[in-house]
Amino acid sequence: MRELEWDGYRNVRDLGGLPTPLSPTGATQVGRVARGPRRELLTDRGWQDARAWGLRSVVDLRCADEVGRCDGDPFVAPDALTGITVVSAPTEDQDDPEFREVCLPILDSPEYWRHNWRILPHLVLGALRAVADAPAGVLVHCSAGRDRTGMVSTLLLADAGVPPTSVAEDYAASVRAMAGTGTHAPGDRQASWDAERVTDWLATVTPIVEDVAADVDAAFAAVGADDDLRARLRARLTTP
C-alpha cells in the first residue's frame, strides 16, 4: 500500500512498491522513504501513525523562513517528535539573484528542476546526502510535497531503476492530491485548480518529469554526487 494514512496529512506516500529491475523483489522497498507535505499538518494521531509506519527521521527541504506552525495547523503535544531526527536540507536559496530570476516564475513546475541543480548544485547535493544519511524510515517533505519533494523523489526513484513513466505517475499523484487545497502554502495557484485544469497541466509537464528520470545520470553529475552517495541512495530503495 503506497498511499499512507497519517492523520491530518494528505499526499503522503511510501516510495516503495514501484517496479525496478535493481531490486531482488522486483520493486522498491517499502518502509524506507516516504514523501509528503509540511509536517506541521500532522496531528498527534498523525505522528503516531507515522511512527507505526516506522518513521525515525525527517528531511525538510524548505527554507528556514517556511518552517513552523501556521494558523489552522493542529496543536500537537510537545513530545510528538521525541526520538525523531529532523534535518534541514533546503534545496532553494531565494536570495540568489539567478535563482529568483529563473526559477521563481516556474516554482510549481518541474521546468525549474534542472535550473535548481544548475544554479544551486550544492543545495540539491546536500538534500540527497541528508536522505542518504538519515535513519530509515525517513520522511522527505517540503511545503506541498509536490515540487521540491517531487524533484528529490524523482532523482531517488529514477536512480533506483524505476521506469520514467512510473516516476512521472508518482509526481502526478502529488499534483492531484494537492490541487484544490490551500492547507500548505499561501499563494499557490494550484490551490484553486479543478480536475480538468490538473489534467491539462499534467499533459504538459509529464514529459518533463519523464525526461529528467530518463537522464538521471546527468542530474547526479550536475550536482557532483559521487558513486558512493548514489550507491547508498540506491540501496535504501532496492536492498531488502
* pLDDT value of position 146: 95
How many domains in the chain? 1
- Is the residue at 33 inside a domain? yes
H or E stretch at 138: strand 138-141
User: What are the tens digits of pLDDT across the range 109-151?
Assistant: 999 999 999 999 999 999 999 999 999 899 999 999 999 999 9
- Is the residue at 6 inside a domain? no
| pLDDT score of 87 more than 90 | yes
- Is the residue at 195 inside a domain? yes
pLDDT band at residue 61, thresholds of 50, 70 and 90?
A: very high
- Is the residue at 43 inside a domain? yes
- Is the residue at 5 inside a domain? no
- Is the residue at 4 inside a domain? no
User: What are the tens digits of pLDDT across the range 70-84?
Assistant: 888 999 998 999 999
* pLDDT value of position 190: 86
Q: Residue 95's domain spans which residues?
A: 13-238
- Is the residue at 104 inside a domain? yes
Asked if 25 and 16 touch (Cβ cutoff 8 Å), the reply is: no
- 36 is written with which cell numbers? 509528503
* pLDDT value of position 179: 87
- Is the residue at 8 inside a domain? no
pLDDT average, residue stretch 87-106: 96
How far is residue 138 from each of residues 32, 104, 116, 155, measured CA to CA in Å?
A: 6, 28, 23, 16
CATH code for position 233:
3.90.190
